[in-house]
């Protein structure tokens, strides 16, 4: 195989690995949608399926990790190709962590058959929050696939609503009353909201990796859950 053939083979492998990574984000998105449905409806069977479904995401991550390592070792990419390879490592890891957060949400549905008191308003807020986070994941995937940096940066605007809902869930759950079962369930919902909020942050992480691919410089997008000093002053 001559140099030109090696180059074609490398580009083909890199393109396939990117497609597998983006498909992994789709898998994580499906897991998130199922986890949110299980949470909203307190569906124990669906929650169990989400937990079991994480194995497929873990397997995808391991395949990507091994093949990307092999690509680095055998092809020694440089410049833009090296940046993309490195970014795919990170996005694959982000994908796997999104799956872990979906499992965290699913495990907060009472899998043991216990039926604690529930607050429908709280579940509705979590459902809205979960769908917004899912939209962030889809937007991050689309931005990476199309190399749309403006779309990636717009994730910060979308994330503000997720963060606001996270705060609302916390305050509502904190005022859930004196019944021990109700308070325990409400605390679990705070943890679920935190897991969903983390998925929104992870979608932004995907956008940051796109910025690195396109510019060669790592750009940390400002996390909307940590307002700047000027934002804080405006809020006073």
The H or E element containing residue 48 is helix 44-75
CA distances from 42 to 104, 110, 119, 189 (A): 14, 7, 11, 11
Tokens of 145: 């696939």
pLDDT tens-digit map of 7-52: 788 889 999 999 999 999 999 999 999 999 999 998 999 999 999 9
CATH code of domain 3-235 = 1.20.58.220
Burial-class residue 82 by CB neighbours within 10 Å (0-12, 13-18, 19+): middle
pLDDT, tens only, 153-177 = 999 999 999 999 999 999 888 887 7
Residue 127: pLDDT band (50, 70, 90) is very high
Contact assessment for residue 186 and residue 173, using Cβ atoms and an 8 Å cutoff: yes
Cα–Cα distance measured from residue 169 to residue 124, given in angstroms and rounded to the nearest whole number: 10
Mean pLDDT estimate for the chain: 89
């Amino acid at each position: 195989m001559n140099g030109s053939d090696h180059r074609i083979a490398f580009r083909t492998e890199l393109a396939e690995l990117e497609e597998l990574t983006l498909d992994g984000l789709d898998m994580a998105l499906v897991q998130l949608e199922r986890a949110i449905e299980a949470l909203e409806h307190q569906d124990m069977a669906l929650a169990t399926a989400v937990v079991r479904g994480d194995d497929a995401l873990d397997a995808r991550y391991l395949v990507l990790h091994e093949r990307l390592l092999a690509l680095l070792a055998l092809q020694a990419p440089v410049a833009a190709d090296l940046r993309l390879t490195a970014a795919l490592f990170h996005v694959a890891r982000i994908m796997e962590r999104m799956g872990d957060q979906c499992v965290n949400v699913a495990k907060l549905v009472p899998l043991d058959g216990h039926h604690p008191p529930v607050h429908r308003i709280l579940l509705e807020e979590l459902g809205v929050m979960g769908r917004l986070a899912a939209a962030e994941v889809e937007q991050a995937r689309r931005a990476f696939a199309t190399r749309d940096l403006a779309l990636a940066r717009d994730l910060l605007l979308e994330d503000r609503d997720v963060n606001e809902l996270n705060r609302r869930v916390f305050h509502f759950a904190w005022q859930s009353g004196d019944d021990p079962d109700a308070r325990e369930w409400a605390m679990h919902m705070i943890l679920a909201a935190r897991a969903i909020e983390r998925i929104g942050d992870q979608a932004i992480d995907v956008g940051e990796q796109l910025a690195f691919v396109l510019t060669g410089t790592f750009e940390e997008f400002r996390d909307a859950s940590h307002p700047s000093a000027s934002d804080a002053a405006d809020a006073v």
